């Protein structure tokens, strides 16, 4: 089994989205890491920031060829919900959430990287 992450990564004004397109029928178990907050392990070192997440089991999903696992409204401002889209199913989500996806088959998806500069 192969586990991947669907998320929006931030690097200053640059955003990168990692999502997946399904190449053949498969199943995927998805665990949402819902962002709660974060804190510095060492207040004097900004590199020690650690996010805090609540783990939510979204369940197992049957996927078919050309289904997409992606984050809707990913480039919208922070006030807009950013739900996870799994084929034709939508689940609540925010831009700082991460989704750990475990596929039951090897080579059943392709990675889709999207980029956005927020200037």
Please give the pLDDT value at position 24: 96
Please give the pLDDT value at position 47: 87
Please give the pLDDT value at position 119: 63
For the chain, residues with pLDDT lower than 70 are 119
| CA dist., res. 87 & res. 81, Å (int) | 18
Structural domain containing residue 95: 2-117
| CA dist., res. 12 & res. 89, Å (int) | 31
pTM for the model: 0.88
Q: What's the domain count of the chain?
A: 1
Please give the pLDDT value at position 2: 84
| CA dist., res. 33 & res. 48, Å (int) | 19
């Amino acid at each position: 089994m192969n586990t991947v992450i669907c998320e929006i990564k931030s690097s200053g004004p640059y955003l990168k989205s990692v999502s997946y397109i399904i190449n053949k029928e498969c199943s995927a178990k998805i665990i949402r890491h819902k962002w709660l907050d974060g804190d510095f392990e060492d207040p004097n070192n900004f590199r020690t920031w650690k996010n805090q997440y609540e783990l939510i089991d979204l369940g197992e999903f049957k996927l078919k060829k050309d289904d997409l696992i992606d984050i809707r409204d990913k480039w919208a401002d922070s006030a807009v919900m950013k739900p996870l889209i799994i084929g034709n199913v939508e689940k609540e989500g925010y831009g700082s959430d991460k989704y750990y996806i475990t596929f039951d088959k090897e080579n059943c998806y392709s990675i889709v990287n999207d980029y956005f500069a927020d200037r």
